[in-house]
Structure 1
Amino acid sequence: MTTRHVLHTARLNNNCPECYDTDGLEFTFTQEEKHTKLYTQANKEIDEKLYCHTCKNTIYPVNWDEDIERVYQYHKKQAHPNTTYLKLKPLTYGLILFGIVIIGAATFLLLNQA
């Protein structure tokens, strides 16, 4: 299962390249997080989306002008990603402990038989 976390959202006063409206653009920076029964880990990549609420279109980077690119660079710095290290769940710790006990018991039995 994966979930998306919104890291940063910003409304822009720039002109939309599609409809030329000045108050409909919004940047959204998101990060995907993978959940399994054993661990949780955030993806390293940050997804960004520029959406115009006036004309209801996603504005792709090909259509951005220099002003939008400048504002994008500023807001990208504001989006702080979640840590990407592996977060183990209690089931994983239980399985590790169970494995250690099994190996210890097997070692003990083998040493007592000799």
Structure 2
Amino acid sequence: MNTIEQILHIAKLKNNCPVCYATDGLEISFIQEEHENKYYNKIKKEVSETLYCHSCKNIIYPVNWNEDIERVYQYHKKQAKPKSAQIQLKPITYSVVIGILLVLFVVFYVASL
């Protein structure tokens, strides 16, 4: 089963980094995972968010966020529209289901004779 990360929204922030205090390195990204199989694709409901500083090369965890970063995070969270969490069947799945139904139909038809 392959896992694909769908990027919903990426934004560069002008806030100060809580670790290195740089004003031009913060980037927030919102990602949703999609699991791909031979028979179907399934998009997970959860959206993961990451705040990364390119200046100090660190991931900034929510424990270290200040009020300004929290406000900007809430704004960008509204911008990230998650995809609907559903299962998308592939054509091979339909072929298998139709094949099974045909076999069952033939078996019951022959049994009734």
TM-score bracket for the superposition, by shorter chain length: over 0.9
> In the alignment, what sits opposite 1:46?
47
- TM-score, normalised relative to structure 1: 0.96
The letter for the 1-side match of 2:39 is L
After TM superposition, where is structure 1 displaced by more than 2 Å over at least 4 residues in a row?
none
Q: Does 1:55 align with 2:27?
A: no
Corresponding residue number in structure 2 for 1:4: 5
Q: Which secondary structure does the structure 2 equivalent of 1:14 belong to?
A: coil
Unaligned runs of 5+ in 2: none
**Cα displacement (A) at 1:44:** 0.5
Aligned residues: 112
Say whether residues 1:101 and 2:102 are aligned partners: yes
Matched to 2:56, the amino acid is C
Task: State the match for 2:65 in structure 1.
Answer: 64
Find the aligned partners of 2:82 and 2:94 in 1 and give their Cα distance. 26
Structure 1 equivalent of residue 35 of structure 2: 34
Q: CA deviation at 1:47?
A: 0.6
Q: What 5-or-longer segments of structure 1 have no aligned partner?
A: none
TM-score w.r.t. the length of structure 2 is 0.97
Deviations 1:11-69 (A, max 9, x none): 10100000111111000100100001110010100010000011111000000000000
Matched, 1:75 2:106: no
1:25 matched residue in structure 2: 26
Question: What is the aligned-residue RMSD (CA, Å)?
Answer: 0.6
